[in-house]
Amino acid sequence: MCHVLNQAVASVPKTDRRRLLSMAGLGAAGIAAAGVAGAAPAAASPGRRGRLEQGRGKVPGGAGRRTRVVMLGTAGGPALVDPDRHGVSTAIVYEDKVYVVDLGVGSFNRLEQSGLAPDTGLGSSLSWVRGIFFTHLHSDHTVDWPAVYATGSMNIVERAGDPIQVFGPGSRDTLTRVYPPTRPAPALVNPEDPTPGISSMTRHLRNAFAQDFNDRLRDSNFPDPDSLFQVHDIDHSGLWTVDPQGIPPRLDAPIRVWEDGDVKVTATLVDHRPTAPAYGFRFDTPDGSVVVSGDTCVSQNLIDLARGADVLVHEVIDPAFVDQLTASLPPGTAESVREHLLISHTTIEQVGRDVAEPAGVGTLALTHMVPGTAPTSTWRKAQRGFSGELVIGEDLLEIGVGRARWRA
């Protein structure tokens, strides 16, 4: 046992030492076995440390609901502008099973704060996570994945069952177009593999963290991260050969991603041109359905996927912010930023009227707010043209789905 772990064991109450030793693979056949043999998961404690446990208006809060949405992070874009909004991430929870969509900056901390874990006093923030889903590979959606991957085996106290299933885009296999077209092509980053998908990205992470992983494998009997995470590229090969423009085709049926007992996960191609492939995900449980848009402009595929959903968690951008931002950028950069932001995202005016209303969803919850600092009054305009309930997303806000209640 390494001395750090010795100190850690000495510092925790006796009753918790068994768990810590199990976590280190000592006196047990490894973490997974320790989890199976350990105590049943503690009672669910939704919103244990959450700032906001209730929904808004007629929208039910999540406390005690068998199915619920927890908005872990609600800021869009890689710029850090508001300490109250962390990078975008959404948890869909069914009983004590947690499914996380995207991992923006700070979202791993938000997961810990959400209380979606057994209350052990030790590292357990991934103990109930069953799946992680990446909508696309922009850094504002993935940058906490290295943190989760590298430290995962230290955050699974009382975890039972299978490895965490991770799904995301595969390689796009072609470069995006240069904009504007007259601009010379910039030098490539990593020309041997310039468009890695989620599984290739994870292989690169594994190699980058090799020293730490090997230290812990040899010194502390920690498990190999590949025994905790199974990473899958979502196969788009029969649907679309991605081109440099990245405008997806219309799909006539959703993509089947995963069925985990009562929870069925499907996806569609959304339009985040030229970034591709980009996905929206739908989660169906016995209590209802939740759809997460990822980053997209108004997308008919997404409207189809969201048809009749109880909750649509959708990205949104304030066009006034785009004008303000691009006014301060140098010529050349300004136009490409403006085009990216307005062509590949959904404005406040569009999200309710042109997406949530035609999809017929019950509740529209706004996330990926750009800018995260805009006042609530700005986002309220999304209600225009939408007859359902509008929730202006905040970090750690919970939304209940269906009437079923649940206790462990």
Separation between Cα atoms, residue 233 and residue 368, nearest integer Å: 24
Determine the residue type at 290. Answer: V
Query: CB-wise, 73 or 76, nearer to Zn ion?
Result: 76
> From the CB of 260, what's the least distance to Zn ion, in Å?
26
> From the CB of 88, what's the least distance to Zn ion, in Å?
6
Q: What is the dihedral of CA 307, 312, 315, 320, to 10 degrees?
A: 90
Query: CB-wise, 143 or 311, nearer to Zn ion?
Result: 143
Separation between Cα atoms, residue 197 and residue 178, nearest integer Å: 20
Return the range that interacts with Zn ion (CB under 5 A); candidates 89-97, 158-166, 179-187, 287-295: 287-295
Q: Rule CB under 5 A: choose which of 295, 304, 389, 395 binds Zn ion.
A: 295
> From the CB of 201, what's the least distance to Zn ion, in Å?
15
397's CB contacts (< 8 A; 6+ apart) are 50, 52, 55, 70, 71, 365, 391
Question: How far is residue 395 CA from its own chain's centroid?
Answer: 13
> From the CB of 338, what's the least distance to Zn ion, in Å?
15
> From the CB of 294, what's the least distance to Zn ion, in Å?
8
Return the range that interacts with Zn ion (CB under 5 A); candidates 73-81, 121-129, 190-198, 283-291: 73-81
Give the E-state strand segments of 134-209 in sequence order: 164-169
- The structure tokens listed for 14 are 């006796």
> From the CB of 331, what's the least distance to Zn ion, in Å?
24
Query: CB-wise, 130 or 141, nearer to Zn ion?
Result: 141
> From the CB of 272, what's the least distance to Zn ion, in Å?
5
Separation between Cα atoms, residue 376 and residue 309, nearest integer Å: 24
Query: CB-wise, 79 or 320, nearer to Zn ion?
Result: 79
Query: CB-wise, 115 or 274, nearer to Zn ion?
Result: 274
DSSP state of 75: B
Contact 6, 26 (CB under 8 A): no
Q: One symbol per residue from 108 to 147: x for binding Zn ion (CB under 5 A), - otherwise; what is it?
A: ------------------------------x-x-------
Query: CB-wise, 125 or 344, nearer to Zn ion?
Result: 344
Query: CB-wise, 194 or 261, nearer to Zn ion?
Result: 194
> From the CB of 370, what's the least distance to Zn ion, in Å?
8
- The structure tokens listed for 337 are 């930023």
> From the CB of 275, what's the least distance to Zn ion, in Å?
6
Instruction: Decide: helix, strand or coil at residue 50.
Output: coil
- The structure tokens listed for 227 are 């025994």
Q: One symbol per residue from 175 to 204: x for binding Zn ion (CB under 5 A), - otherwise; what is it?
A: ------------------------------
> From the CB of 302, what's the least distance to Zn ion, in Å?
14
Query: CB-wise, 136 or 216, nearer to Zn ion?
Result: 136
Helix axes 319-327, 333-343, angle to 10 degrees: 170
| Footprint on residues 214-273 left by Zn ion (CB under 5 A) | none
Q: One symbol per residue from 75 to 94: x for binding Zn ion (CB under 5 A), - otherwise; what is it?
A: -x------------------
- The structure tokens listed for 374 are 């805009």
Q: One symbol per residue from 355 to 394: x for binding Zn ion (CB under 5 A), - otherwise; what is it?
A: ----------------------------------------
Q: Kindly determine how many residues on this chain lie close enough to bind Zn ion according to the rule CB under 5 A.
A: 4
Contact 282, 290 (CB under 8 A): yes
Query: CB-wise, 265 or 370, nearer to Zn ion?
Result: 370
Query: CB-wise, 222 or 281, nearer to Zn ion?
Result: 281
Nearest one of 112, 69, 117 to 91, comparing CA atoms: 69
Instruction: List, as one string, the DSSP characters of 238-274.
Output: TT----TT--PPP-SSPEEEEEETTEEEEEEEEEETT
Return the range that interacts with Zn ion (CB under 5 A); candidates 74-82, 230-238, 320-328, 388-396: 74-82
Separation between Cα atoms, residue 334 and residue 356, nearest integer Å: 30
Determine the residue type at 177. Answer: R
Contact 258, 37 (CB under 8 A): no
- By the criterion CB under 5 A, which residues form the site for Zn ion? 76, 138, 140, 295
